[in-house]
Amino acid sequence: MSDKQQPKAENPTRREFLSTTGSTAAATLIAAYMPVTANTPDQARTPEATTPTIEGAVPITLRINGKDRELRVDPRTTLLDCIRESVLLTGTKKGCDHGQCGACTVHVDGRRVVSCLSLALMHDGKEITTIEGLGTPEAMHPMQASFLACDGYQCGYCTSGQIMSAVALLKEPCGPDDASVKELMSGNICRCGAYANIVAAVQQVRKQGSGV
Amino acid sequence: MHSFEFVRPENAATAITAAGQAKTAQQGAEVRFLAGGTTLIDLMKLEVETPSRRLDINRLPFDKIEEMPDGGLKIGATVRNSDLANHARVQRDYSVLSQAILAGASAQLRNMATTAGNLLQRTRCVYFRDTAMPCNKREPGSGCPAITGSNRTLAILGTSDKCIATNPSDMCVAMAALEAIIHVEGPGGARTIAFGDFHLLPGSTPHRETVLEPGDLITHVTLPPPKTGSRQVYLKLRDRASYEFALASAAVVINLTRGSISYVRIAMGGVGTKPWRSPEAEAVLTGKPANAANFRQAAEAALRNAKPQSENKFKIELAKRCLTHALQTAVNG
C-alpha cells in the first residue's frame, strides 16, 4: 500500500467504509437499486452512463438541483430511493419510510414533500431540490448557516429534512410567533430533541428576511 | 412492495375504463387510482394493498378550485389539501374546512394529499396495517383482534362486532358538517353522492368502506353556498399538540338569530367508523338558546349510542366536552 492511500485506509469516512466493505447487506442494497453492472465504486457512481438491467424499468427525467437526470426506474422506486440509490445524493435521509418522520423531505416544484411516500415515476419532468441543491459548505444557504449558528441539531440525521422544511416554510403562510413555526415544523421529528434550537434557527432567518 | 404496472391515462374516460376492469373498488382492488399517494403508497409498502395496476391521475384536469354559479365552490379531486386549506374563499366562507385540514397531518403531507384521496383515507387501526394479524377489513372473516386488544384510539360510534376501526380524516368531518356533494364518473356515467351517503358503516362487511364501484372516479366535490353569518369551528383533541390523529374532534357550523340557534350542523371525528354527522345533536339545538346547558344536552344526544371498547371509555366524555367546547367557542366567536 502506497503512502498516498494510507491516510484514507486508516481513517475512512462512514460512506467509504460502507461502500468498500463488501458486506452482504450493502451489496444487496446496491444491487437492488443500481441500474448498472459495474464492479468498481467509480463506475457505480455514474448510473445514468450505463445500460440499465432492471426488468420493467421505465425511463424518466428528473431535474434534480438544476441538472437533468435521465433515469430508468422500477415503478416501485420511491422518489427517496431514487434520489439516494440511483442519483447517489445521500444528503436526503431515510428515517421511518412511512411519511411519519420528515427526514426525507425534499422540494418538488418548490413545495416540500416527504419523498418516501411518492413514486419517482410520478415526478417525471418535475424540478426536485435536495439539501445538496441548497448550498455548499463554502456558500451555505442562510437556513443552513442559521442551523449551524443556532446549533439546531445533535446527531444530524433529521437535519437535512428539517432544513428543507424550514426553507419551504419561508414561502408558506405562517404566523410570526414561535408557536406557528412549531406547528408548521411538526412533520419533522428530531429524536435528539433539538427543537428549541431548530425554532431559533428558523426564526433567525425569518427575522433577517433573507434566504427567501 | 409487490410489483405493479404504472399507467398514466390520457383522460378520465381512459382511466375509468381501465379501473372498471377491477373486480372491486374496495379493499384489495387490483386497480387503484394514484393521486397524492400518502395513504396508498404507505399501505403498499406494508402489503396491505397490492394492486397490480396503478393509474396516475395527477395530470388529469381535476386540480382547480372554481366558483359555482350558485355561490358554492367546486373543488377538483386532485386539489392538494394545502391549496384547499389556504384558498381565500375557503378561509372566508368555509373556514371549518380550512381549520380541519390544517389540523391534520404535516405541511409536507398536506402538500401531497388530495381532496379525493382524503375522502378515501384509510383507518390507522394497527391490526389493519399489520398483515401478520387477522383483520375483517383487510381479510374478510379473519376476525377482529382490536375488540379484545389495543383499541384505545378506535371508534365508539358506528361499530359492529366485526370492526371498530376509526375513520381518521379531519377534512371529512368538516365536509360532513358543510354537507358537501361528491361527484363521481363511472362506467355508467356521472352521478352525485351526498356526503352522508358516501361512507359505509362496517356492519358485517367492513372491507366495504364507500359506495364506490369499479371504475368510479371521483372528479370533484362541491360545497353548497355558504351560510351567511355562520360561525364555524373545528376543534381537535389528540395525544400531542400537532401531527397526530384525533382522539375526538368536532366540526360546528352555527347561525344565531337573536341569541337562538337558527341553523346548526355538527359532525365529529376520531370517534366514529365513518365521519360522524350528528342529526341528534342538531335536533336538540335547533331553535334553542345558545347556552352551556343546551350545548351539554346536544353532546349527550350525540354520544347517546356510544359503545366503548376496553381501552377507550374515556372517549365518550372527551367527545362530549370536545363538542361542547367547539359550540361555545363558535358562539363566543
The region, left, alpha or beta by phi > 0 then psi within -120 to 50, assigned to residue A206 is: alpha
Instruction: Give the per-residue pLDDT at B22.
Output: 96
Residue B128 covered by a domain: no
On whether residue B241 sits in a domain, the answer given is: yes
Map out the domains of chain A as residue ranges: 51-133, 142-208
Would residue B322 count as lying in a domain?
yes
8 Å CB contact of A119 and B41: yes
For residue A75, pLDDT over 60 is answered with: yes
Q: Is A171 on the interface with B (CB under 8 A)?
A: no
* Residue A98 · residue A57 · CB < 8 Å: no
Residue A161 sits at the vertex; the CA angle it makes with B240 and A167, to the nearest 5 degrees, is 100
Cell numbers placing B272: 366514529
Candidate from A102, A117, A172 with C-beta closest to B37: A117
Per CB-CB distance under 8 Å, the chain A contacts of B3 are: 56, 74-76
What ipTM score was computed for the predicted complex, to two decimals? 0.96
Span A51-133: which CATH code? 3.10.20.30
- Nearest Cα neighbor of B115 from B250, B246, B256, B220 is B220
| Distance (Å) from the alpha carbon of B298 to chain A's nearest alpha carbon | 31
Nine-digit cell string for B147: 375488540
- Interface touch B109/A187, C-beta < 8 Å: yes
Task: Give the model's pLDDT for residue B333.
Answer: 76
Residue B103 contacts residue A186 (beta carbons within 8 Å) = no
Contact A57, A121 (CB under 8 A): no
Q: From CA B112, how far away is CA B123, in angstroms rounded?
A: 18
Residue with cell 389493519: B128
Q: Which of B106, B124, B244 to mutate to test the interface with A (most CBs of A within 10 A)?
A: B106
Report d(CA A30, CA B74) in Å as an integer: 47
Q: What pLDDT, on a 0 to 100 scale, did the predictor assign at position A53? A: 65
Whether residue A17 has pLDDT greater than 90:
no
Could you tell me if residue B271 is inside a domain?
yes
Runs of H (alpha helix) within B87-217: 88-93, 95-102, 107-112, 115-119, 171-177, 195-198
Q: What is the mean pLDDT of residues B93-120?
A: 98
CA A78/CA A42 separation, integer angstroms? 24
Q: Is A168 on the interface with B (CB under 8 A)?
A: yes
Task: Locate A129 and state its grid cell.
Answer: 431540490
CA of B111, closest CA in chain A: separation in Å? 6
The band of A41, judged by pLDDT with boundaries at 50, 70 and 90, is very low
Identify the CA nearest to A77 among candidates A19, A123, A45: A123
Task: Give residue B243's identity as a one-letter amino acid code.
Answer: Y
- pLDDT in the model for residue B184: 98
Q: Do B54 and A182 touch (CB under 8 A)?
A: no
User: How many Å apart are CA B80 and CA B64, to the nearest integer?
Assistant: 10
Residues belonging to chain A: 212
Q: Residue B323: inside a domain, yes or no? A: yes
CA angle, B228 as apex, B227 and B232 as ends, to 5°? 65
Mean pLDDT of B197-226: 98
CATH of the domain at B246: 3.30.390.50
Query: How would you write chain A as a 3-class SS string?
Result: CCCCCHHHHHCCCHHHHHHHCCCHHHHHHHHHHCCCCCCCHHHHCCHHHCCCCCCCCEEEEEEECCEEEEEEECCCCEHHHHHHHHCCCCCCCCCCCCCCCCCCEEEECCEEEEHHHCEHHHHCCCEEECHHHCCCCCCCCHHHHHHHHHCCCCCCCCHHHHHHHHHHHCCCCCCCCHHHHHHHCCCCCCCCCCHHHHHHHHHHHHHHCCCC
- Helical pair B292-303 and B314-332, crossing angle rounded to 10 deg: 140
CA-based radius of gyration for chain A: 19
- Which chain B residues contact residue A97 at CB under 8 A? 45
With CB atoms and an 8 Å threshold, state whether B45 touches A97. yes
- For residue B258, give every residue at least 6 positions away whose Cβ sits within 8 Å of its Cβ, in sequence order, or none: none
Residues of B in Cβ contact (< 8 Å) with A118: 37, 41, 112
Q: What is the pTM of this model?
A: 0.91
Sign, CA torsion B188/B192/B198/B203: negative
Residue B281 is assigned to a structural domain of this protein: yes
In terms of Cα–Cα distance, which of A208, A134, A194 is closest to A164? A134
Q: How many distinct structural domains can be found in chain B?
A: 1
Is B108 a domain residue? no
Query: CA-to-CA distance for B226 and B221, rounded, in angstroms?
Result: 15
Q: Do A113 and B42 touch (CB under 8 A)?
A: no
Is the pLDDT at A68 greater than 60, yes or no?
A: yes
Which residues of chain A does B112 touch, with a Cβ-Cβ cutoff of 8 Å? 113-114, 117-118
Under the banding of pLDDT at 50, 70 and 90, the label for residue A55 is confident
- The minimum CA-CA distance between A149 and chain B, rounded to whole Å, is 25
Range of the domain at B241: 231-332
B4 part of a folded domain = no
A112 interfacial to chain B (CB closer than 8 Å):
yes
Q: What's the order of all strands across the beta sheet hosting B217-223? A: B65-67, B73-76, B217-223, B181-186, B189-194
> What is the percent of chain B where pLDDT is above 70?
100
Taking the CA of residue A118 and the nearest CA in chain B, the distance in Å comes to 6
For position B146, what pLDDT does the model report? Answer: 98
A54 close to B (CB below 8 A)? no
- Candidates 2.60.40.1180, 1.10.357.10, 3.40.640.10, 1.10.150.120; correct CATH number of A142-208? 1.10.150.120
Q: How far does the CA of residue B41 sit from the closest CA of chain A (Å)?
A: 6
**Burial level of B78, CB count in 10 A (0-12/13-18/19+)?**
buried
Q: Which residues of B touch A (CB under 8 A)?
A: 1, 3-6, 34, 37-38, 41-42, 45-46, 54, 56, 58, 82, 86, 105-109, 111-112, 241-243
Mean pLDDT, chain A, as a whole number?
83
- Check if A74 contacts B (Cβ < 8 Å): yes
